[in-house]
Copies of this chain bind each other. A is one copy, B any other.
Amino acid sequence: MSVEDRRVKRLPREVREKQILDAAVRVFSEHGYHEASMDEVSEVAGVSKPMIYAYLGSKEDLFAACIRREAGLLLEAIVAGVDATVAPDMQLWMGLKAFFEFVGGNKQSWRVLHRQVISQGGPFSDEVLAMRSRAITLVDALLVGVATKRGMDEHAQKSTEAMSAALVGASESLADWWLDHPAVPTRTVVAWLMNLVWMGFGDLVEGNTWSPSDH
């Protein structure tokens, strides 16, 4: 009985670190950074608290490590999902699809990345805001490419960064909405967003702008 009963012990450091990070992501995603306690993380990870401090450092460090890992996975998934040789609209399509697929398959990761991080003004936000910036930059590059190629006017070009921010925000928001409506298939959600955003941008490129009648 001593063999079976005994908890699996004395695993190499790498494995424990992974277990701890997994547990941390789960706990943080459930309670948020502040409500989460190191005790609960240790409990979920099946490891005592000092291990966490020995391996991952302070609570802040631990959270940052979670962010870094998950953000890396997300970005990785996106760039892996995009074929840079196809047309811009298809690139956007593929990127969005990869994004939504990741969110659908890793809801916890998404919760940690999106909900938790933005609010804390701490050193974490840097981590995620950096990723967010990378995402925005990615989209911006796409838009700028299209805009300059088609000879978009200067004023409209200035708007691409803002548009990218809006698009990224729309994606995030739609992802949240989607979490509450899981019945909708991935392609559908992405198609909706593409229609909203690409058609709108297409008009913009063509010079088909909207403007208020009076005011």
Checking B87, B165, B189 against A174 with a beta-carbon cut-off of 8 angstroms, the contacting residue is B165
Q: Count copies of this chain in the complex.
A: 2
- B166 contacts A176, CB within 8 Å? no
Interface hub of A166, A172, A176, A211 (most chain B Cβ within 10 A): A166
A interface, over-half SS:
helix
Query: A142 an interface residue at 8 Å Cβ cutoff?
Result: no
Q: Shortest Cβ distance from A214 into chain B, in angstroms?
A: 8
> CB-nearest residue of chain B relative to A188?
B159
Q: Interface residue tally of chain A, by bracket?
A: 35 or more
- A210 contacts B199, CB within 8 Å? yes
Q: Shortest Cβ distance from A142 into chain B, in angstroms?
A: 14
Query: A104 an interface residue at 8 Å Cβ cutoff?
Result: no
- A195 contacts B200, CB within 8 Å? yes
Collect the chain B residues with CB atoms within 8 Å of residue A94's CB. Answer: 215
Collect the chain B residues with CB atoms within 8 Å of residue A163's CB. Answer: 192, 196
A90 to B210, CA, bound (A): 10
A34 to B122, CA, bound (A): 12
A90-B212 contact in complex given A192-B159, A195-B204, A201-B196, C-beta closer than 8 Å:
yes
